[in-house]
Chain A
Amino acid sequence: MERLDRKLGTASSLPLLAILLVAFIAPMLVVAVFSAMPRKVFSVFNSPDFSAYAALLEQGYYRSLLWSLGMALASTVILFVVCWPLAFGMAKVFKRFTIVLTIAVVVSLFVSENIRLFGWVLTLMKGGLIEGHVRAWTGEGFESPLYSVPIIVFSLVYVYFPFMLFPLAQGIAMVPDDARQAAADLGASRWRILFEIDLPLAAPGIVVGSLLSFVLAAGALAESKILGGQTVIVIADEIETAFTYGQDWPLGSALSMVLITIIAALAIYGIAKVDLDAIMGRKGR
């Protein structure tokens, strides 16, 4: 009986397995193979070389990679600091108001990211919503904050806000109230409780939220293009250019592979560190 169940289970997972293979693994393999082709070829049947990877260092693509990773790191750290109090409130304090907040944040996702980013352009540009009003009232204008690195980080924080907030709230909800109370009872101050109890016990949520926002921010393109005005060229931009205008698929593939490897390594390291089962609601033991 149990063996039959297992066979049926395996059989019913086959279609999904096939889709995963074709839609996920196969393209990755193609990209991996292409990354080891000589520059600017359009076929995988060439003798492999690693000139595309060499271009990463020789032609300065590593700078784009560092910008992407750096801004992703900055936005993740800012997101964590900004989201923690709110997530704490949602998990432990707000009660019914939590659902209002959740809906408010989720509704913002209903509008396309690009449109929301252009909304910020209209708000922040010289002669836009803010500067325009200030100039009309005071006669004095000021420089637009647009097209700079800080504004790119700001927009990354803005766009990936929900991806940090919700996992964090989920993680904090897993911190047992009585453990916090017991810590206070044993003499711990609020800060001690934060560092000794809240942060370690909410770690799964922190890891999931940080990974999501970091991974998405590292591969983000629209923020640097629309609000950043390509002040800095991010790695996703370079990849797109390589595949399109550049007509250099091996270069695009090599850059992709480097990004994928870094992100995968981070993800695997992070996930190995925490008990993901806990946050997914599956309780072992």
Chain B
Amino acid sequence: MQFAPAIPPGRYLYSGQTMSSEPILRLDNIVKRFGQFTAVDGVDLAIEEGEFLTIVGPSGSGKSTLIRMLVGMEEVSEGAIWLRGERIEDTPANERPTCMVFQSLALFPHMTVGQNIEFPLKIKGRSPAERKQRALELLALLRLPEHYYTRNVTQCSGGERQRIALARALAFDPEILFFDEPLSALDYRLRKTLEKELKDLHERTRKTFVYITHSLEEAMVMSDRIAIMNSGKFVQIAVADDIYAKPVSRFVAEFMGEVNLFDIEGTTSDDLHGTGIEIHVNGQAGEFGISLAPNEKGTLMVRPEFVRFLSSGETSDFLVRGILRAEYALGSRIQYKVETANGSKLTVENLREDRYQGAIGDAVILGWDIESTHIIRE
């Protein structure tokens, strides 16, 4: 079992996929300052042709500013943007071959659905017949009924408006399609449906999609790669599974959902100092790749769904003893809070069918395997 090497923050990392020769879009040390405040702080990124890249970050992380610079609505303070080897950071938005789906969708309220979709074609000077044909094709592609062509956009529902905005962007036939949290205003179920539709659309069109969101779930469902952004910098860029299982920092680990983190220090014994965790695999920690140099600090991470309740006599690579303090039903899963002897809290999540048969206050033994364990070195 190999663990991910430490990655310097802000650096571009590609994992999992094969790379084509030339990235479609390359960002070279992009900086954006608003007066004293630095919103985007030296970002490097290479976006591959045809990939679905999602930039995720909490609000205020600079992701919106970044995407606005990429489409040309915000000026770049420093750095270069290369589109297919051509510098474009000074090209105005209307001359860039890229296009964005806005958070607000920004449909034109005075136009019909058809006119909205045809707008970019009209700008390009296409004939009315050609425009209409393309608009109808796009309506079909996005599974909107043909008679919507003459409907006013203000009469369409949230999900329909979403699809119209997408159709309009596709009509532009952009080199790269950017998305600025377009699903955030929709209710949960519709969002789930549209996430899958978007992924499906990406597979059918094979266009390069760059999507920003603060919702990790959204990113996980759709993306080929995820870039995690915090305080104007990329913290980690990797495929979804790697970001989830092998985060490079506590921030990423915690951002990716519930997680158990333990501060550990360099150790040569099977005792992880002060954490209350016992190691039971063949004695030596170093053998599974979690050894730290003497006095090196690190964080041991295990996701709640990999932790299980052990029955007496049962063993696992890592063991923790504690008291069951709380139980929460999360629908298909049950979440437990367990307090260990030294006072630290552990979160455990089991499927409903594996529900723990006991009561609050029970003394329990928790265990997990080395394969589910990750060491964060910052």
Contact = CB atoms under 8 A, between A and B. Distances in A.
B262 interface: no
B159 interface: no
Interface residues of A, number: 19
Given A181-B93, A183-B108, A187-B94, A196 B102 contact: no
Contact of B119 (A178, A181, A186): A186
Nearest to B68: A181
Interface string B90-107: 001111001110101011
A201 B110 contact: yes
Interface in A181-195: 181-189, 192
Interface in B117-138: 119-120, 123-124
A201 B72 CA distance: 24
Given A186-B172, A285-B154, A179 B108 contact: yes
B154 A184 contact: no
Contacts of A179: 106-109
Q: Which of A184, A185, A200 has the most CB of B within 10 A?
A: A185
A200 B104 CA distance: 20
Contacts of A44: none
Contact of B120 (A181, A186, A197, A201): A186
A188 B55 CA distance: 27
A27 interface: no
Contacts of A119: none
Contacts of B95: 187
B94 A189 contact: yes
B230 to A, nearest CB: 26
Given A196-B119, A285-B154, A185 B99 contact: yes
B377 to A, nearest CB: 42
A170 B102 CA distance: 25
A185 B71 contact: yes
Contact of A181 (B73, B107, B109, B169): B73
Contacts of A181: 73, 93, 102, 106
A200 B110 CA distance: 7
Contact of A178 (B72, B104, B120, B168): B104
Contacts of A201: 108-110
Contacts of B93: 181, 184-185
Given A187-B124, A189-B94, A182 B106 contact: yes
A176 interface: yes
Contacts of A182: 100, 102, 106-108
A165 B22 CA distance: 53
A187 B120 contact: yes
A188 B94 contact: yes
B123 A178 contact: no
Interface in A141-190: 176, 178-179, 181-189
Contacts of A178: 102, 104, 106
Contacts of A192: 123
A183 B99 contact: no
B172 A187 contact: yes
B104 A186 contact: no
A181 B109 CA distance: 14
Contact of A197 (B73, B100, B108): B108
A8 to B, nearest CB: 34
B102 A183 contact: no
Nearest to B169: A186
A183 B119 CA distance: 8
B92 A184 contact: yes
Contacts of A186: 94, 99, 119-120, 123, 168-169, 172
A178 B71 CA distance: 13
Contacts of B73: 181, 184-185
Contacts of B172: 186-187
Contact of A184 (B94, B107, B108, B109): B94
Contacts of B124: 187
A268 B99 CA distance: 41
B155 to A, nearest CB: 9
Nearest to B154: A285
Contacts of A200: 110
B261 to A, nearest CB: 40
Contacts of A189: 94
Contacts of A196: 108, 119
Scoring A182, A184, A196, A285 by chain B CB atoms within 10 A of each residue's CB, the highest score goes to A182
A238 to B, nearest CB: 41
Interface in B221-255: none
Nearest to A201: B110
A259 to B, nearest CB: 33
B190 to A, nearest CB: 19
Interface string B164-176: 0000110010000
A176 B106 contact: yes
Interface string A8-36: 00000000000000000000000000000
Interface string B157-199: 0000000000011001000000000000000000000000000
Nearest to B110: A200
B66 to A, nearest CB: 16
Interface of A: 176, 178-179, 181-189, 192, 196-197, 200-201, 203, 285
Given A185-B100, A188-B119, A285-B154, 19 more contacts: A176-B104, A179-B106, A181-B73, A181-B102, A182-B100, A182-B106, A182-B107, A184-B73, A184-B92, A185-B93, A185-B98, A185-B99, A186-B123, A186-B168, A187-B120, A187-B124, A187-B172, A189-B94, A197-B108
19 contacts: A176-B104, A179-B106, A182-B107, A184-B92, A184-B93, A185-B71, A185-B73, A185-B94, A185-B100, A186-B99, A186-B119, A186-B168, A187-B94, A187-B172, A188-B123, A192-B123, A201-B108, A203-B110, A285-B154
Those 5 A-B pairs whose CB atoms lie nearest each other, nearest first: A182-B106, A178-B106, A186-B120, A187-B123, A184-B94
